[in-house]
Amino acid sequence: MTVVLTGATGFLGSRLLRALLAGGRTVAALGRDAAGQPLAARLETALRACGAKDGELADARGRLTAVPADLTRPGLGLKPVDHDRLAEEAEAVWHCAAALSLIDTEDTLAPVNVGGTHRLTELADRSPAHVPLLYFSTAYVAAGPDAGSANGRPAPVPSALEAVTGYERTKRRAEAVVRDWAASRQRPALILRPSLLATDRPLPPDAAQQPFSTLGTGLAELIGQAPPLLRRGILHRRPGLPRVRLRLLGDPAAHMNIVPVEYAVDAALRLAALPHRPGVSTYHLVHPVETPAPLLVAAVNELVPGVELVLRPAVDRPNLIEQQINPMLANFLRRDWRSRTDDHTPLHEVLPGLAGPAPVDIAYLRAAMNFLAPELG
């Protein structure tokens, strides 16, 4: 039997792939060949970026099959015989792939995020009746009460009014695809909703990134564009000289829920191992402690000690640096990224053996940004 997995070259999917292989599973990873790099090579690169060494990769090659596929095409772009064989051999179908963007429109993202989910339900349709579909959504689809329940409590149902970005709207629609499929076919399905995923482990430049490493890279690039003298002043606080003061556009009262990807993967695998009846069970893979936005600002401040960063709900007459940095940070600081899961069952109640996630403190945030200071020049 084979685990079918999409998104295995991504930040979350690559770590799930590594964990599945470490557990002795045989995996068929669906994805695209890239220009100059076939899918098999991309999968190996992704595993190396997660920390896999030569011995682990050699073992993986015997149980990992790269299946070039296209989520936007009928039958995933596979030959019908290959599509049916894949479905018949499946022991689980994990759907991690997504077009992730906080600025693209719903129409742009829908072919992958909604249409691709339709394609995966069609594949799962042809698998044995007990095979579950496990779909990774996002905690930020927002929630409201529903007549259905997960683990004896009301299952959060996405609200169109509260889904802000095009990405969230497509994930909300994709959840509806999964719910409709599970209800109409009487099949088991899990909707897994992680919050902002992060890791405090180093990420190679060619690795799939996460929001905070993207922030760190953008910050390093911005500093790298500054004249050498200003660059030195930003990266090193000089005694007797004032710090550069920058006003960041954001809500000082905002919070964000940041969950270590390692914890999310462990929880997802443990949830998948539970018995599930036909229908959908929804779980939130979130941190039990919300992170206040000022803590992220403090972490950035430690990376650039020559700068004094202050949060402001409005910035009048922004200077040149503020004009460049505020769009970069706005997605994190102007919006409240709490987990929105007041009515969900905490994971430690569902999974008593699950170790709690690492605390997200300043040290964790600094490491998560994977900040590589530019040359001083």
Mean pLDDT of all residues belonging to the chain: 89
- φ, ψ for residue 8 (rounded to 5)? -75, -10
Looking at the domain assignment, is residue 203 inside a domain?
no
Looking at the structure, do residues 159 and 216 belong to the same domain, yes or no? no
Mention every residue, 6+ apart, whose C-beta is less than 8 A from residue 114: 170, 173, 174, 177
Pairing assessment for the beta strands 244-249 and 153-154 based on DSSP bridges: unpaired
Q: What is the domain range of residue 235?
A: 211-255+290-338+358-368
Looking at the domain assignment, is residue 205 inside a domain?
no
Four-point Cα dihedral 79, 82, 86, 89, nearest 10: 150
Looking at the structure, do residues 123 and 262 belong to the same domain, yes or no? yes
Q: How far apart are CA 254 and CA 337, in angstroms?
A: 7
Looking at the structure, do residues 153 and 238 belong to the same domain, yes or no? no
Q: How far apart are CA 300 and CA 248, in angstroms?
A: 11
Looking at the domain assignment, is residue 376 inside a domain?
no
Maximum Cα–Cα distance across the chain: 73
Q: How far apart are CA 199 and CA 358, in angstroms?
A: 10
Q: Which of the pair, 161 or 173, is modelled with greater confidence?
A: 173
At 354 the pLDDT is 94
161 pLDDT more than 50? no
Percentage of the residues of the chain whose pLDDT score is greater than 90: 66
At 149 the pLDDT is 37
Min mean pLDDT across 104-108, 257-261, 342-346 is at 342-346
**H or E element that contains 280:** strand 279-285
pLDDT tens-digit map of 330-372: 667 877 888 876 667 889 899 999 999 999 999 999 999 999 8
User: Which CATH number belongs to the domain containing residue 42 in this structure?
Assistant: 3.40.50.720
151 pLDDT more than 60? no
164 pLDDT more than 80? no
Q: How confident is the model at residue 145 (pLDDT cuts 50, 70, 90)?
A: very low
224 pLDDT more than 50? yes
Looking at the structure, do residues 33 and 160 belong to the same domain, yes or no? yes
Looking at the structure, do residues 279 and 266 belong to the same domain, yes or no? yes
Cα distances (angstroms) measured from residue 266 to each of 60, 86, 285 = 19, 25, 10
Looking at the domain assignment, is residue 352 inside a domain?
no
**Can you tell me the mean pLDDT for 150-178?**
68
Q: What's this model's pTM, rounded to 2 decimal places?
A: 0.91
pLDDT tens-digit map of 270-287: 999 999 999 999 999 999
Both tokens assigned to 229: 């003298």
DSSP 312: E
DSSP 141: G
Mention every residue, 6+ apart, whose C-beta is less than 8 A from residue 74: 119
150 pLDDT more than 80? no
DSSP 163: -
Looking at the structure, do residues 147 and 280 belong to the same domain, yes or no? yes
Q: Which residues of 263-279 are buried (b: 16+ CB within 10 A; e: fewer)?
A: bbbbbbbebbeeebeeb
Q: How far apart are CA 376 and CA 232, in angstroms?
A: 6
Min mean pLDDT across 37-51, 97-111, 157-171, 310-324 is at 157-171
How many separate domains does the chain show? 2
Q: How confident is the model at residue 163 (pLDDT cuts 50, 70, 90)?
A: low
Mention every residue, 6+ apart, whose C-beta is less than 8 A from residue 288: 346, 348, 356, 357
pLDDT tens-digit map of 55-91: 999 999 999 999 999 999 999 999 999 999 999 999 9
Q: Which of 2, 20, 368 is nearest to 199 (CA)?
A: 368
Number of helices (H), then strands (E), belonging to the chain: the values are 14, 15
At 343 the pLDDT is 67
**H or E element that contains 153:** strand 153-154
Q: State which of 265, 285, 305 marks the end of a domain.
A: 285
At 225 the pLDDT is 85
Looking at the structure, do residues 243 and 266 belong to the same domain, yes or no? no
